[in-house]
C-alpha cells in the first residue's frame, strides 16, 4: 500500500483505505485555472480526522508555457 499522507498529530502514514471522503473544488477567482482535490482522512493509529488538499493547474500560464517549450528538446 502506498502512503498518501501523514497524520498531523502522530505522524502515522495513512493510505487510501483510511480515506473517508474525497471531493473537487474550484476557487471562484481562478475558475478554469486551478482545481483543488480535498481528501478527508481518519488516522488508524490515533483516530484523528484531518484534511489534505492538492492543487491541479488546468491551464498553463503564457510565460510558463513558453519557458517549458524553450527548454524541452525538439521531437
pLDDT at 55: 84
Q: Using alpha carbons, list the distances in angstroms from residue 67 to 1, 33, 56.
A: 37, 18, 19
pLDDT tens for each residue of 15-60 = 999 999 999 988 888 777 788 899 999 999 999 999 999 888 776 5
Domain residue extents for the chain: 5-71
The pTM score is 0.68
pLDDT at 67: 61
Q: Which residues contact 59 (CB under 8 A, 6 or more apart)?
A: 32, 33
Amino acid at each position: 500500500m502506498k502512503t498518501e499522507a501523514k497524520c498531523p498529530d502522530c505522524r502515522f502514514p495513512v493510505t487510501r483505505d483510511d480515506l473517508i471522503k474525497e471531493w473537487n473544488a474550484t476557487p471562484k477567482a481562478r475558475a478554469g485555472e486551478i482545481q483543488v482535490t480535498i481528501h478527508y482522512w481518519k488516522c488508524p493509529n490515533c483516530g484523528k480526522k484531518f484534511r489534505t488538499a492538492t492543487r491541479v493547474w488546468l491551464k498553463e500560464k503564457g510565460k510558463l508555457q513558453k519557458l517549458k517549450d524553450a527548454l524541452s528538446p525538439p521531437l
